[in-house]
């Protein structure tokens, strides 16, 4: 069972291992720049958010953002590349593995990449900045990263399956993924939103990821609403990814 | 005969297009079967149905007794597929490509490492096993794709135009290799190289517009045209003028021109004299009766017009 998924996961980790250093270097640069620009640059203007120093407030969100963006990108581009360019998906499909194996393998690869890259950013922020957190909170935080990466990996798989032109993957990222991430309270507290918008923003899965992860890392709290939203979203996203992939393959 | 592959009334319809139409076939175990047809004849669609990549609109097919409709996973465990394109993983080395395939079949490392060593030796890539496929020539990549399809020792091997784009040496190497696989394996080959079908296949079916047109050995198919009176004609000059004349003659068929040389079929022996009367003897350099080739049979059955 799942031997196909394990084989695909093995393949993706093998490829990642070859380019690990350059991948991590590239992925660290963007959130670190944001951290330095906002966390240090705005330090003089924003003292703290709800009693938390601003640099400390944005750090968990930046780490989570790196993880989920990496999960989305890896899944979307990997599925698209294997389907449209290398056509290796066709090779997978003439072996006795199932479509579920392919989707699960790709989702786990996306999740693994997301988690690894998130941890790399966390490590660099930890080394270069005064950002500190109680180590006991790390497990709860990783739980949110796990679910968040899973959701974004599923969404990436759907995009890589449905979208044929590569530039459209970039457009989805610019129009859907980035706004969803930035609207979910990475750089400012959700209380800044008008009341009407607050209700809608609060139930976004991205809010559940970033807000839930921040609460977990800084306060050690597992927000039940965030967990429920994320679990439901993960199940729906997984079902949608499998269904979409299955339908595309039978065309 | 022991049947490796049975197809009964298989059809695939896309909207108004019948890509494969009521196709039936039996292929004997341990033989090389060739499916010939022009572009768009339905060969690849048929292979895609047999390899469980697409579902037929009607009919059934069984590979080694297992239905492609109800036992797709079992069928996939028994077949090897060499697609038209070299769909190798360019981020994995030659050996890793084979290992990934073996893992998908659930083979244990001790089993697949031995098998991969054998295959690499056989295809002459042992020295390049740790290189990436992008650094290989087209022929080497093709051999690797064939080897990949053989890692799990399939009982039926599907080869979809295996030598397209290869130089003559590489084509011969693939032919030798394919021939060495029988009788342990049944081979289902599609090609539009007539010499390839002639050299390799124990049995050939020519298909067009989704249907089988003829079925037999290469010799049997050529025999069908034995009555067709194929001639080779060569003129000293004026090839264009003679082409016009020949095309106007109602008893001339399958006219092919290369410069001042022509290949043509007459509808009957009795038309040789009217032909000579019309073209006269002044410009003729050579005229001879020709044994029909498989290509003549193919052109006779599928026509000369270029397909998209």
Sheet with B284-290, edge to edge strand ranges: B252-258, B261-266, B230-235, B284-290
Q: Are residues B164 and B255 in the same domain?
A: no
Which residues of chain B have a CB within 8 Å of the CB of A98?
Answer: 73
Q: Are residues B78 and B15 in the same domain?
A: yes
Sheet with B3-14, edge to edge strand ranges: B17-28, B3-14, B58-63, B66-67
Q: Specify if B306 maps to a domain.
A: no
Give the gap in angstroms from C-alpha B20 to the nearest C-alpha of chain A.
16
Integer CA distances (angstroms), A64 to A143, A209, B122, B260, in order: 11, 8, 50, 75
Confidence of residue B153 (pLDDT cuts 50, 70, 90): very high
Cβ <8 Å between B96 and A91: no
At which residue do the structure tokens 């009217």 appear?
Answer: B274
Burial code of B129-147, b = ≥16 C-beta within 10 A, e = fewer? Answer: beebbeebeebbbbbbbbb
Report pLDDT for B230. 78
Mean pLDDT of B3-28: 91
Of A7, A15, A90, the CB nearest to B104: A7
At which residue do the structure tokens 């109800």 appear?
Answer: B70
Span A170-185, pLDDT tens digits: 899 889 888 888 888 8
Tell me if chain A has a CB within 8 Å of the CB of B14.
Answer: no
Tell me if chain B has a CB within 8 Å of the CB of A88.
Answer: yes
Report pLDDT for B241. 87
Distance between CA atoms of residues B157 and B173, nearest Å? 17
Which residues of chain B have a CB within 8 Å of the CB of A94?
Answer: 51-53, 76, 79, 81
Which residues of chain B have a CB within 8 Å of the CB of A6?
Answer: 103
Which runs of consecutive H residues, i.e. helices, occur in chain A?
Answer: 3-18, 20-34, 54-80, 88-93, 99-128, 138-162, 166-172, 178-182, 195-202, 205-219, 224-249
Q: Are residues B218 and B263 in the same domain?
A: no
At which residue do the structure tokens 């199932």 appear?
Answer: A98
Span B82-116, pLDDT tens digits: 998 889 999 999 999 999 999 999 999 999 999 99
Residue in chain A nearest B158 by alpha carbon: A94
Burial of A240 (0-12, 13-18, 19+ CB in 10 A): middle
Distance between CA atoms of residues A72 and A155, nearest Å? 7
Q: Specify if B216 maps to a domain.
A: yes
Where does residue A7 fall: left (phi above 0), alpha (psi -120 to 50 degrees), or beta otherwise?
Answer: alpha
Report pLDDT for A81. 92
| Containing structural domain, residue B264 | 226-291
Report pLDDT for A76. 92
Confidence of residue B10 (pLDDT cuts 50, 70, 90): very high
Mean pLDDT of B69-76: 94
Question: For chain A, which ranges sit under pLDDT 70?
Answer: 1
Judge whether residue B225 has pLDDT over 80. no
DSSP state of A175: I
Confidence of residue B307 (pLDDT cuts 50, 70, 90): low
Tell me if chain B has a CB within 8 Å of the CB of A20.
Answer: no
Q: Are residues B188 and B48 in the same domain?
A: yes
Where does residue B215 fall: left (phi above 0), alpha (psi -120 to 50 degrees), or beta otherwise?
Answer: beta
Q: Are residues B109 and B199 in the same domain?
A: yes
Span B174-206, pLDDT tens digits: 888 888 888 889 999 998 788 888 888 999 998
| Containing structural domain, residue A62 | 3-249
Which residues of chain A have a CB within 8 Å of the CB of B101?
Answer: 91, 95
Report pLDDT for B228. 63
Q: Are residues B29 and B127 in the same domain?
A: yes
Which domain CATH number covers B198? Answer: 3.40.50.300
DSSP state of B275: H
Mean pLDDT of B57-79: 94
Confidence of residue B165 (pLDDT cuts 50, 70, 90): confident
Mean pLDDT of B255-277: 83
Q: What is the ipTM of this complex?
A: 0.83
Tell me if chain B has a CB within 8 Å of the CB of A127.
Answer: no
Which domain CATH number covers B268? Answer: 3.30.70.920
Confidence of residue B285 (pLDDT cuts 50, 70, 90): confident
In the three-class reduction of DSSP (H, G, I as helix; E, B as strand; rest coil), residue A22 is classed as helix
Whole-model pTM? 0.80
Count of the separate structural domains present in chain A: 1
Q: Are residues B241 and B166 in the same domain?
A: no
Q: Specify if B298 maps to a domain.
A: no
Confidence of residue B73 (pLDDT cuts 50, 70, 90): very high
Chosen domain end from B223, B239, B257: B223
Distance between CA atoms of residues B289 and B269, nearest Å? 11
Q: Are residues B207 and B81 in the same domain?
A: yes
Burial code of B28-66, b = ≥16 C-beta within 10 A, e = fewer? Answer: ebbbbbbbbbbeebbbbbbbbbbbbbbebeebebbbbeb
Count of the separate structural domains present in chain B: 2
Report pLDDT for A215. 84
Q: Are residues B157 and B206 in the same domain?
A: yes
Mean pLDDT of B7-23: 90
Chosen domain end from B188, B223, B258: B223
Identify which has the larger pLDDT, B258 or A47.
Answer: B258
Q: Which two tokens stand for residue A84?
A: 């449209």
Judge whether residue B149 has pLDDT over 70. yes
Tell me if chain A has a CB within 8 Å of the CB of B141.
Answer: no
Report pLDDT for B301. 67
Judge whether residue B167 has pLDDT over 70. yes
Q: What angle do CA A223, A228, A232 make, to 5 degrees?
A: 150
Report pLDDT for A119. 83
Residue in chain A nearest B154 by alpha carbon: A95
Judge whether residue B304 has pLDDT over 60. no
Distance between CA atoms of residues B47 and B53, nearest Å? 9
Q: Specify if B62 maps to a domain.
A: yes
Confidence of residue B136 (pLDDT cuts 50, 70, 90): very high
Q: Are residues B49 and B174 in the same domain?
A: yes
Q: Are residues B22 and B130 in the same domain?
A: yes
Judge whether residue B58 has pLDDT over 80. yes
Tell me if chain B has a CB within 8 Å of the CB of A4.
Answer: yes
Q: Are residues B76 and B188 in the same domain?
A: yes
CB atoms within 10 A of CB B291: 9
Number of Cβ pairs < 8 A linking chain A and chain B: 62
Burial of A47 (0-12, 13-18, 19+ CB in 10 A): exposed
Judge whether residue B226 has pLDDT over 80. no
Q: Specify if B302 maps to a domain.
A: no
Report pLDDT for B97. 96
Distance between CA atoms of residues A49 and A51, nearest Å? 5
Where does residue B193 fall: left (phi above 0), alpha (psi -120 to 50 degrees), or beta otherwise?
Answer: beta
């Amino acid at each position: 069972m799942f031997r196909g998924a394990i084989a695909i996961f093995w393949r993706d980790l093998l490829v990642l291992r070859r380019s690990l250093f350059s991948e991590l270097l590239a992925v660290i640069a963007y959130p670190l720049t944001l951290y330095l620009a906002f966390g240090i640059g705005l330090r003089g203007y924003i003292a703290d958010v709800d009693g938390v120093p601003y640099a400390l407030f944005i750090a968990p969100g930046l780490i989570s953002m790196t993880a989920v963006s990496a999960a989305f990108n890896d899944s979307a581009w990997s599925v698209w590349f294997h389907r449209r360019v290398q056509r290796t998906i066709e090779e997978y499909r003439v072996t006795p593995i199932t479509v579920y194996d392919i989707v699960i393998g790709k989702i786990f690869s996306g999740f693994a990449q997301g988690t690894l890259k998130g941890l790399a950013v966390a490590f660099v922020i930890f080394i270069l900045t005064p950002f500190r957190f109680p180590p006991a909170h790390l497990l709860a935080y990783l739980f949110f990263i796990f679910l968040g990466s899973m959701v974004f990996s599923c969404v990436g798989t759907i995009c890589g399956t449905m979208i044929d032109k590569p530039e459209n993957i970039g457009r989805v990222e610019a129009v859907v993924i980035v706004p969803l991430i930035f609207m979910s309270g990475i750089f400012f507290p959700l209380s800044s939103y008008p009341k009407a918008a607050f209700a809608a923003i609060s139930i976004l899965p991205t809010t559940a990821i970033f807000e839930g992860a921040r609460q977990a890392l800084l306060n050690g709290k597992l927000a039940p609403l965030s967990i429920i939203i994320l679990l439901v979203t993960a199940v729906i996203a997984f079902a949608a990814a499998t269904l979409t992939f299955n339908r595309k393959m039978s065309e | 005969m022991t049947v490796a592959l049975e197809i009964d009334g298989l059809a695939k319809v896309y909207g108004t297009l019948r890509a494969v139409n009521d196709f039936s076939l039996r292929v004997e175990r341990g033989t090389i079967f060739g499916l010939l047809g022009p572009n768009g004849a339905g060969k690849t669609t048929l292979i895609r149905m047999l390899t469980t990549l697409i579902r037929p609109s009607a009919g059934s097919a069984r590979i080694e007794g297992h239905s492609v409709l109800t036992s797709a996973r079992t069928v996939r465990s028994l077949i090897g597929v060499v697609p038209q394109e070299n769909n190798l993983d360019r981020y994995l080395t030659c050996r890793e490509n084979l290992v990934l395939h073996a893992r998908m079949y659930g083979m244990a490392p001790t089993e697949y490492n031995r098998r991969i060593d054998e295959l690499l030796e056989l295809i002459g890539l042992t020295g390049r096993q740790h290189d990436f496929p992008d650094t290989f020539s087209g022929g080497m990549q093709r051999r690797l794709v064939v080897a990949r399809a053989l890692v799990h020792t399939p009982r039926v091997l599907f080869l979809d135009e295996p030598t397209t784009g290869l130089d003559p040496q590489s084509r011969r190497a693939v032919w030798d290799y394919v021939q060495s696989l029988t009788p342990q394996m049944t081979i289902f080959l599609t090609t539009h190289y007539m010499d390839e079908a002639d050299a390799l296949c124990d049995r050939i079916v020519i298909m067009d517009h989704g249907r089988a047109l003829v079925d037999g050995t290469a010799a049997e198919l050529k025999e069908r045209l034995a009555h067709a009176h194929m001639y080779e004609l060569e003129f000293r000059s004026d090839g264009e003028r003679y082409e016009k004349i020949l095309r106007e003659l109602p008893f001339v068929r399958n006219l092919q021109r290369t410069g001042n040389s022509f290949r043509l079929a007459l509808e009957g022996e009795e038309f040789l004299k009217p032909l000579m009367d019309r073209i006269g003897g002044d410009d003729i350099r050579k005229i001879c009766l020709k044994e029909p080739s498989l290509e003549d049979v193919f052109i006779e059955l599928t026509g000369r017009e270029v397909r998209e």
